[in-house]
Structures are given as C-alpha cells and as structure tokens.
C-alpha cells in the first residue's frame, strides 16, 4: 500500500512537533510556512524538538502558500495554526484539497472539526486531541514540556475509520504515540474542560496553572467554571461522570508548573484563541439554555484585554 502523502500547515510550537514526527517517518512530508524568515531558518537548520519528544529532522518540501501543494495531491492535510486562522486556511484549501483528502484539525479548542465538516463535509473531517505541551525556542525549534501519551485522533464519519487508523499510525511510527479513537469529541471534551477553564484565568492573572489553583480567590473561579463547563458538556451528550474532576485536578497539578499559552499571547500582545475556548463554552451554554456566568466573565475579560492592544 502506498504511503500517504501528508502536508502540515502552521509551524508554531504545536506544528513543529507534529511536522517533526511526520518528517521522521517520511522526509517527503510537505510544510506550509508563511513567514520568509522562518522558512529560511527551517531550510537551513531543519526542525529540532527537545524534551519529552526528542528529534531533529531536515525539511525537503517547504512552501510559502497553500496553493503550492495542490499538484502534490496530499492524502492528509494537518492544520496546526491558531484557531483564528482556521477559516482563512480552509478557504484557501477549497481549490487544493482533493475529493478524498482528509483535513485534520490539530488545534486547541472546541468545535474546530465542526467548522471543517461544515465547509467540506463530515466525510472529510478529522480531529486530533494533542496531549503534549510545547513551547517555541526559535524559528525552527520547540521544546515539549510534557507528553501524556498517547495523543488521540478520530474521524467524524464512521466510514473513515480505516483512514483514521492510518493517520494515527503515521505519528506513532514517527515516535509521537497516537491512538485512533471511535469518539474523538469525547477526548476533546476531556481535555478542553481543563484548557478552557484555566486558559482565561491564567491569562487574566498572569499565573501558572498551579499558582491559580493554589490561590483561594482564583481556585473559586476555577471551580465555578468547571461546574459550568461540565454541565454544558453533559447537555451536548458528554457526561464525564463524578470522578472526572478529581482525576482532572490531579492531572493539572502534575503539569501545572507552566503558564498557559494564552498568557504568552497576552504578554506578546497578540490575538488569543478565546473564541474557540471560553467563547465556545458560552455559545454552547446559550444554545442549551445553561447559564455560564463565570465563563461569560472570564471570556469577556480576555476579550477586553485583547481589545486594548489589538484596536
């Protein structure tokens, strides 16, 4: 069986790790990198990943525009951009992705796979839930701070199970353990309940996850947010059970020595991903008639901070 042709769009911290794993398996993997300076660095030095996932790879197929990968007919396109770039990327893929191309969201956030399905159909949409945390150490280097193996990958259409299994295998062969799951949205909710809650609290207070949980004032906010998002998840068909929060808090205490990436966005005065994090919880809550006052407050505080420097 022919090895799948793969493209990665977006080489930030997450994209660098995803791309390095795929390149470790197949040097023909295609990368789309918009910034000329970053392309030059990658072309010269390759990509280096350190920490819990460690590898160095050279890059052969490097492009500056999505349209340039059309003739190479990728079987999978992994999108690793920030969530606010998702719609423009998908729009650019309309003339690029073939009728059998799998489009995979590797984002942090809720509902990104539904955006793909809305534009390309559920039979083309896949989603990854990444269980590692990475930070950029340069234009072509990233450090994996933690990796709670495995990652999860799933298809929105049940008939794409075999295709999803192949996609997960690509990463495992490249050293980034990834498991295909039948219900990827369950895995997304399990992770995003934590991410959506802590991202805005950490961003507004400039605290690490552990600091925010240890301080009584911010812990109370987190507990309120957790109660709201668990109710929203249950309304959407994902009741995670009584023991979920106990296990989740233990997980946060393990990885919580780091600041959430939204803290970095605020510090760098760049756009945050709040619309697909807290913003989605608020949206889903309103659709289900579930009040989310803690989430409304934290989401709007982040948006207000963004407004001050983005305007």
What global pTM score does this model have? 0.94
Asked if 172 and 223 sit in the same domain, the reply is no
Closest CA to 108 of 136, 86, 75, 140: 86
The b-or-e profile of 10-32 (16+ CB within 10 A means b, else e) is: bbbbbbbbbbbbbbbbbeebbbb
Determine the structural domain holding residue 214 and report its residue range. 186-310
Task: Say if 47 falls within a structural domain.
Answer: yes
pLDDT mean for each 10 residues of the chain (311 residues):
89 96 96 96 97 96 95 95 97 92 97 97 97 91 93 97 96 96 97 96 95 95 96 97 86 78 94 98 98 98 96 84
Q: What is the CATH classification number for the domain harbouring 255?
A: 1.10.1040.10
Pair 111, 281: CB distance under 8 Å: no
Task: Say if 251 falls within a structural domain.
Answer: yes
Q: What is the CATH classification number for the domain harbouring 22?
A: 3.40.50.720
Asked if 255 and 302 sit in the same domain, the reply is yes
Q: How far is CA 92 from CA 18, 23, 107, 255, in A?
A: 21, 24, 18, 36
Task: From 152, 182, 212, give the residue that closes a domain.
Answer: 182
- Domain count of the fold of the chain: 2
Asked if 85 and 176 sit in the same domain, the reply is yes
- The whole-number pLDDT of residue 1 equals 57
Task: Say if 1 falls within a structural domain.
Answer: no
Helix intervals (H) in 34-101: 36-45, 86-93
Pair 76, 102: CB distance under 8 Å: yes
């Amino acid at each position: 069986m022919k090895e799948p042709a793969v493209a990665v769009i977006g080489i930030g911290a997450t994209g660098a790790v995803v791309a390095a794993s795929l390149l470790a398996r197949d040097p023909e993997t295609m990368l789309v990198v918009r910034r000329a300076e970053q392309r030059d660095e990658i072309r010269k030095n390759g990509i280096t990943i350190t920490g819990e996932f460690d590898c160095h790879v050279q890059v052969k197929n490097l492009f500056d525009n999505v349209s340039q990968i059309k003739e190479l007919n990728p079987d999978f396109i992994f999108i690793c951009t920030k969530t606010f770039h998702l719609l423009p990327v998908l729009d650019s893929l309309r003339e690029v992705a073939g009728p059998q191309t799998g489009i995979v969201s590797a984002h942090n956030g809720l509902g990104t796979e539904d955006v793909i399905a809305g534009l390309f159909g559920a039979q083309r949409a896949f989603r990854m839930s990444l269980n590692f945390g990475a930070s950029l150490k340069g234009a072509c280097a990233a450090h994996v701070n933690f990796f709670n193996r495995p990652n999860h990958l799933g298809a929105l259409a049940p008939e794409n199970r075999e295709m999803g299994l192949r996609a997960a295998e690509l990463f495992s062969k490249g050293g980034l353990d990834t498991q295909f799951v039948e219900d990827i949205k369950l895995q997304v909710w399990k992770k995003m309940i934590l991410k959506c809650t802590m991202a805005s609290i950490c961003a507004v207070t400039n605290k690490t996850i552990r600091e925010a949980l240890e301080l009584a004032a911010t812990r109370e906010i987190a507990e309120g947010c957790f109660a709201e998002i668990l109710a929203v998840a249950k309304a959407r068909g994902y009741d995670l059970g009584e023991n979920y929060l106990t296990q989740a808090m233990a997980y946060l205490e393990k990885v919580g020595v780091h600041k959430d990436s939204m803290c970095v966005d605020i510090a760098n005065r760049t756009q945050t991903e709040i619309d697909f994090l807290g913003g989605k919880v608020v949206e889903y809550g309103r659709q289900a008639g579930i009040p989310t006052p803690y989430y409304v407050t934290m989401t709007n505080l982040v948006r207000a901070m963004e407004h001050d420097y983005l305007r």
